[in-house]
Copies of this chain bind each other. A is one copy, B any other.
Amino acid sequence: MIRIGLVGCTGYTGLELLRYLSGHPHVQVARLFARSHVGCLFSSVFPGFVGLDIPIEDLDSGFSEGVDCLFFCLPHGESLERLTPEILDSGVRVIDLGADFRFHSLDLFFKAYQTVHPVPALMKEAVYGIPELFEEKIRDARLVANPGCYATSAILGLWPLVKQGLLGRLPVVDAKSGISGAGKTLKSESMFCEVDGHVSSYQTFVHRHRYEIADILGADLLFSPHLIPANRGIFSSVYVSLKVPMSWNELAAMYREFYKGPFVQLLNQGLLPSTQLVNGSNFVKMAIQVSSDFPTEAVIFVALDNLGKGAAGQAVQNFNVMFGLDPMAGLGALPFYL
């Protein structure tokens, strides 16, 4: 059994990660850390988590003792302080679900966060955690920077076209996100009455994840996020122009070639993409639409669970790669149909 610790266990991402890890055959949840409820048994604070009778420890505790791997689920900016080189040097491997170590380019990090990265060496060392793209590096990484939901959906949708040099003009990623993506922090925009029944957009062009996506892809995009009244799910509609006309079969063959693993699946032609097909799981469903009226246009739909492949599920996927486990370990449960 691999002993894991979770730093930041009470937010939505931390809770979902515990749901996955509790069912993982090779994991022992050894230590839990949070700012609130310190000293309480986890299962007494969250009675739905039957059997997780582990005390919550302070964030100022030393994290490394008694664990083989640490997951960090802290608000953006906090990993910079708490995820120290000492932890890595002690031999504990780390998967950070926050945004602090996801960039390659110091410049783009600055554009996104308006601050100079304080630990550039660690940022350089960190491996971007999409196993479909970077499995080799993840295998030996001490620190994996687990991407978020917007970035995972946009990068998966655009990657084959970019890598093949087939992407034409500036792509548009119109992303529709469930509300849990905004986290558990109290804010007006996350209140039930403000959200229920409404669709809205925000931070067109300037959302900080645009810069992260551009950094990893090596290509800029028009990123346009929206909020929809659902608790889970990301549905990204990716509008691309192609350098040459391509048929559905050609595009499908190319995407299937790039995504051979068990989690990213292209729907057969005619099947409709929906977050219903993936919520509660680490699976991604993609669909491609083309039209003979516009032979160099295509739409790539990417549906994933923002808490699954967009956060906790992908973290477990990275963990399995890092520790040489079966890719499906802890990730075999089917999505919720309802």
Query: Are A239 and B226 in contact, with the CB atoms below 8 A?
Result: no
How far, in Å, is A14 (CB) from chain B's closest CB?
10
Chain B residues whose CB sits within 8 angstroms of the CB of A278 once the complex forms: 48
Stretch of A68-76, A124-132, A230-238, A318-326 contacting B (4+ beta carbons < 8 Å): A230-238
Q: Give the chain B neighbours of A235 by CB distance below 8 A.
A: 199-201, 226
User: How many copies of this chain are found per oligomer?
Assistant: 4
Contact with B along A271-282 (1 / 0, CB 8 A): 111111111100
In the bound complex, do residue A201 and residue B336 qualify as a contact, i.e. CB atoms below 8 Å apart? no
Q: What is the minimal beta-carbon distance from A327 to any residue of chain B, in angstroms?
A: 13
Among the 9-residue stretches A93-101, A138-146, A157-165, A172-180, the one with 4 or more Cβ atoms under 8 Å from chain B is A172-180
Verify B289–A337 contact, CB threshold 8 A.
no
Q: Residue A65 at the B interface, CB < 8 A?
A: no
User: Of B19, B199, B230, B303, which contacts A233 at CB under 8 A?
Assistant: B199
CB distance from A275 to the nearest CB of B (A): 5
Q: Which range contains the number of A residues in contact with the other chain?
A: 35 or more
- Nearest-CB residue, chain B, relative to A227: B274
A307 within 8 A of B: yes
B201 touching A333, Cβ below 8 Å? no
Tell me if A272 and B197 are in contact (CB < 8 A). Answer: no
Using A229-B229, A235-B226 as known contacts, say yes or no to A338 and B193 having CB atoms under 8 A apart: yes
Which of A55-109 touch B at CB < 8 Å?
A: none
Q: Is A110 an interface residue (CB 8 A)?
A: no
The contact string, 1 if C-beta is below 8 Å from chain B, for chain A 196-207, is 111111101110
Q: Is the CB of B228 within 8 A of A194?
A: no
For A267, the closest partner residue in chain B by CB is B47
The reply on A299 being an interface residue by CB < 8 A is yes
A192 and B231: CB pair below 8 A? Answer: yes
* Set B206, B229, B274, B280: member contacting A192, Cβ < 8 A: B229
Complex contact B231–A193 (CB within 8 A): yes
* Chain A residues close to B by CB (< 8 Å): 12, 15-16, 18-19, 22-23, 44, 46-50, 169-170, 172, 174, 176, 178-180, 184, 186-188, 190-202, 204-206, 220, 222, 224, 226, 228-233, 235, 237, 239, 262, 265, 267-268, 271-280, 283, 285, 287, 289-291, 293-294, 297, 299, 301, 303, 307, 332-338
